[in-house]
Amino acid sequence: MFKQLLISLPVVMGIVGGCVFAESGAPLEPLYSAQFTDEDVSIEVKSTGCTFPENFTITAAGKGGVDYSTIGIHRDTPDECKAMPEIITLHLELPAALAALKEPYKLENLFVSKGKPAFVP
């Protein structure tokens, strides 16, 4: 078991281009869409009135395959407001080291239809 933990540690810590991005303890956020540029990502998420870009963290893991890194978008602070739920667009800045790599990403988040409620395990 100890050997298995040592082997898993680099995957958990996520090593990208010499920089380490710690794994967020928050679950991956269900997304309604995601659009990447070299510097940021625009996402659509559900909000009940208190969802802001600073509520999210982008985590990265080193090469998940031969030619790409794996990233995840986590909501660190829950939206506990009581407004009518709506889908909003947020712009999140990519971590500088990840943006500098200029390589493809595999996004681990669940994508949901805008007409269906998000399933969160």
* CA–CA dist 106, 89 (Å, integer): 20
Answer for the pair 108, 71: CB distance below 8 angstroms, yes or no: yes
Answer for the pair 53, 60: CB distance below 8 angstroms, yes or no: no
For residue 118, what pLDDT is reported? 56
Q: DSSP alpha helices (H): ranges in the chain? A: 2-13, 96-101
Query: Is 27 or 38 the better-scoring residue by pLDDT?
Result: 27
Residue in the structure block whose two tokens are 């920089």 = 19
- Give percent of the chain above pLDDT 70: 72
Tens of pLDDT along 33-89? 999 988 899 999 999 999 999 999 999 887 656 678 789 999 999 999 999 999 999
- Give percent of the chain above pLDDT 90: 47
Enter the DSSP assignment of 118.
P
Q: What pTM, to 2 d.p., does this model score?
A: 0.72
